[in-house]
Amino acid sequence: AELAHKDNTLNGKKVLITAGPTYENIDPVRFIGNFSSGKMGIAIAEAFYNRGAEVNLVLGPSKEPVPGGINVINVRSAQQMYDACMALFPDTDMAVMSAAVADFRPKTLAEEKIKKQDDEGMTIELVRNPDILKACGAIKSDKQLLVGFALETNNEEENALGKLKRKNADMIVLNSLNDEKAGFGTDTNKVTIFEKNGTIHRWPLRSKSELGVQLADLMIEKINESK
């Protein structure tokens, strides 16, 4: 069903969201992927849509439903996600990169199904994918707000702060893995948000849809402050 904008706070503003996993093809029948569902990014897209924004959602392979009204750009690989974002970001007011982008892809795509060799192990050579958040950070203007996510298993805060700096983001949302109700596939998430100015928000466990609304509203506060 087509959603109506609930209010017009962001009328005329354009928002770019990445969400879901990427799939990196190995041969015609195999790929490298990850367990991202896309739920978090879709919730953020919905929250911005409800505030009146024009929302472009660049979505990797995901089975989750996307509410009507949101412009969905379906992609499969990191390279496709990068190309779509590079085309959209210059004309974007606020961007949230929540996709679980594969850091690597197979160096070559086999044209035929790869056959196993008897008794041998098997190696696939991988090469780096472009970093979408970093590329956007490198061309960001003062009027644009750019938010990334981080998923860490150790030195969480230090690593998240490193990503904030290295990618020239305005905020990093650190996903907590220290809670079984948070993360891939769940309906809830526990995050810590690091702002460029040093402010830290430690938010307790909440539903992904609530988190989407509160993150969107925090970003709206920031973009209004900087005017």
**Contact set with ligand CTP (CB under 6 A):** 18, 78, 97, 99, 101, 103, 129, 131-133, 148-151, 163
179 is in an annotated binding site: no
Q: For 60, how many CA atoms within 13 A lie in the half-sphere containing its CB? A: 29
Question: Which residues contact residue 158 at a Cβ distance below 8 angstroms, ignoring those fewer than 6 apart?
Answer: none
**Residue 132 contact partner, candidates Ca ion, ligand CTP, none, CB within 5 to 8 A by sort of partner:** ligand CTP
From the list 23, 21, 25, 17, the residue with the least C-alpha distance to 35 is 21
Please say which residue, 52 or 61, places its beta carbon nearer to ligand CTP: 61
Please say which residue, 55 or 137, places its beta carbon nearer to Ca ion: 137
130 is in an annotated binding site: yes
Asked whether the beta carbons of 52 and 105 are under 8 A apart, the reply is: no
Closest contact distance (angstroms) between CB of 160 and ligand CTP is: 8
Asked whether the beta carbons of 146 and 133 are under 8 A apart, the reply is: yes
Closest contact distance (angstroms) between CB of 203 and ligand CTP is: 17
Q: Which of 11, 25, 34, 224 is catalytic?
A: 34
Amino acid at 76: R
From the list 18, 96, 10, the residue with the least C-alpha distance to 57 is 18
* String marking each residue 81-120 x if it binds Ca ion according to CB under 5 A: ----------------------x-----------------
132 is in an annotated binding site: yes
Give long-range contacts, CB 8 A cutoff, 24+ apart: 157-163: 157/192, 157/194, 160/192, 160/194, 161/194
131 is in an annotated binding site: yes
Alpha helices by DSSP H, 62-122: 78-88
- Which backbone phi and psi does 15 adopt, to 5 degrees? -120, 135
Please say which residue, 14 or 163, places its beta carbon nearer to ligand CTP: 163
Closest contact distance (angstroms) between CB of 129 and Ca ion is: 9
Please say which residue, 18 or 176, places its beta carbon nearer to ligand CTP: 18
Please say which residue, 26 or 151, places its beta carbon nearer to ligand CTP: 151
Rg (CA), the chain: 18
Closest contact distance (angstroms) between CB of 9 and Ca ion is: 32
What is the C-alpha separation between 82 and 87, in angstroms, rounded?
9
| 50 a catalytic residue | no
Closest contact distance (angstroms) between CB of 150 and ligand CTP is: 4
Binding-site sequence positions for CTP: 103, 113, 130-133, 149, 163, 167
Catalytic residues: 34
Can you give the binding site for Ca ion, defined by CB under 5 A? Answer: 103
